[in-house]
Chain A
Amino acid sequence: MKLIVGVADMKVSNDPNSELVTYSLGSCIGIAIYDAAARVGGMLHFMLPESGLDKDKARQKPFMFADTGIPRLFKAAYELGAAKSRLRVVVTGGSQVLDQQGFFNIGQRNQMAVQRIFDRNNVVVDFSDLGGNANRTLRLAIRGGQTGLKLSGRGEKFV
C-alpha cells in the first residue's frame, strides 16, 4: 500500500506491505528514516526552516517546519519500536531557483536547519542529495528499507 506524505506532512509505518512516498520536493526537504531490525520507517516533508515564523501555524501543522517536524518524525518512529542507534537516515531536497540569495534562499536555509538539528541531537546522515535546481521524489519500502530517489528529468536510483 502506498502511503503518500503530502506537503507539510509526516507518516510512519511498520506495515511490511506499505511504501512511504513524497513527491515534488523543491526547496522543501524530505527525510526518510528506517530501522531494519524493527522494520519501522518514517518520512517527513517539511517546507520551512523555523516555526518562529508563525507559532499558530506551527501548532496546527507542525510538519511544515524543520524544528517542529523533525523531532516528531523521530518520536513517532520510536513509538513503533525503532531505535535511534539503528536508524538509517536519508535527506533530500532543498533545491533553489537560480540567483536566489541570502535569506530568500529557503532551500539552503532548510538544509542548514536540518544540519543544526541533527548536530545538536547526534544524528548521523547515511545518505544525502541536496540542493541544485531539480525536483525530487523520495520513496521508502517498509519491508526491506529500499529507498528510491528520483530527480526531475532523470530516472530513479536506489540509495
Chain B
Amino acid sequence: MTDLRTIVKGIAGLKPVPRVVHKILAIQQDPDSSMDDLARVISHDATTTANLLKAANSALYGRTKPIESVQQAVVFLGMDEIVSLALMSNSSDNLKRPQEGYGLKTDDLWRNGIVSALVSQELCQKLALDNGHLVFTCALLKDIGKVVLEQHVAAFAKEISELVARGDHSFEEAEKQVIGIDHAELGAMTTQVWQFSEKMVDIIKYHHRPGESVLAPQETAIVHLSDTVCMMMGIGAGSDGLAYRFDQQLIESMGISDVDLQEIMAGIPEKLDDIESFIALS
C-alpha cells in the first residue's frame, strides 16, 4: 500500500476550479438571485465569457443565429443551461489530459464527463428533480479522483487487474484493497478541498455505491445510472472497462425501467457528433 498522505498531496497538483464557478453555483442555489446577477458574474470573467460564447454557439446547442453576448446567452438559454455551460467551460483542464494508469487517452475522461452530465440532466427532467445543476456538475466531475490516483493505479495495475479478474471485486473495490483508497473517495476529498457543498461531495463519493449516500440518495443514483450508461456504451472507456457494480434495486425503486435505460442509450448516438465538435472547441 502507498502512503495515503502522498496520494492526497496529489490533489494540490490539479488545476483548481476557478472562483467564478463557485460564484455561479452560489447564484444558482440562491432563490433571491436573478439572471442579471448571473450575467454580471460571468461578464466579469473574460475566460469564462469567451468559453461560454464559444460553447453556446457550438453545434451542441444547435442555434441558427449566433449568440454574441453573455446577456443574450442568458436570455436565450436560461439559467440552468448557462450554469451547465459555464461549468463545462471551466472543468476541461484537468479532465482532458490522458490518464495512462486507467488506459485513457486525451479527452476520454472529459468525453465521459460531458456525456454523463447530459444524460443526468435528461434523467433529472424525467424524474422532475429540482437539483439538476448539482447533479450535472457532479456527473461532470465524478471521476476527478482518477486524475489524482492514476499514477498509483499504474504502479499496481497487475494486482488490481488480478483482483478484478477473480470476479469478486469491482475495479473501485480493488483500488481500495490494493492502494488503500479508491478514485471516488479521492474525488470526494478533492471536491471538499475545492469547497463544494456537502451534498456534492457525498454524490461524488458514492457514485459507484449510491445506496450508501445519506445526503443525496436520489441525485447520487442518477449520477450512478448516467455513469453506467457511459460504461455500457464504451464512452471514455478505459482499462477498468465495465468492472463496476450496478445498484439495480435502487434504480428500479425510482421507477426507472430497462426500457427507460434503453431509450436513454438510443438517444446518445445522435448527440455524439455535436459532443465531438464541442470537445474539439474546448
Contacts and interface: CB of A to CB of B under 8 A. Distances in A.
Contact of A47 (B170, B239, B242, B266): B266
Contacts of B235: 24
B234 A104 contact: no
Contact of B262 (A24, A53, A153): A53
A25 B237 CA distance: 9
A135 B245 contact: no
B120 interface: no
B241 A153 contact: yes
Contacts of B241: 26, 95, 133-135, 151-153
Interface string B230-269: 0111110111111111111001000001110111011011
Contact of A152 (B233, B240, B248, B270): B240
Contacts, number: 107
Contact of A106 (B170, B258, B268, B272): B258
A106 B234 CA distance: 13
B228 interface: yes
B28 to A, nearest CB: 31
A99 interface: yes
B242 A95 contact: yes
Interface in B179-232: 228, 231-232
Contacts of B251: 104
Contacts of A47: 233, 265-266, 269
A134 to B, nearest CB: 5
Interface in A53-96: 53-54, 57, 61, 64, 95-96
A27 interface: yes
B103 interface: yes
A152 B236 CA distance: 12
A27 B231 CA distance: 8
B237 A26 contact: yes
Contacts of A28: 232-234
Nearest to B239: A153
B161 interface: yes
A7 B269 contact: yes
Contacts of A100: 246, 248
A72 to B, nearest CB: 16
Contact of B245 (A53, A64, A98, A103): A98
B266 A98 contact: no
Interface string B77-113: 0000000000000000000000000010000000000
Nearest to A101: B248
B258 A103 contact: yes
A121 to B, nearest CB: 24
B234 A107 contact: no
B237 A97 contact: no
B262 A26 contact: no
A70 to B, nearest CB: 17
Contacts of B247: 99
Contact of A61 (B233, B244, B257, B269): B269
Nearest to A107: B232
Interface of B: 103, 157, 161, 164, 170, 228, 231-235, 237-248, 251, 257-259, 261-263, 265-266, 268-270, 272
8 contacts: A48-B262, A98-B242, A101-B248, A103-B258, A106-B265, A133-B164, A152-B103, A152-B241
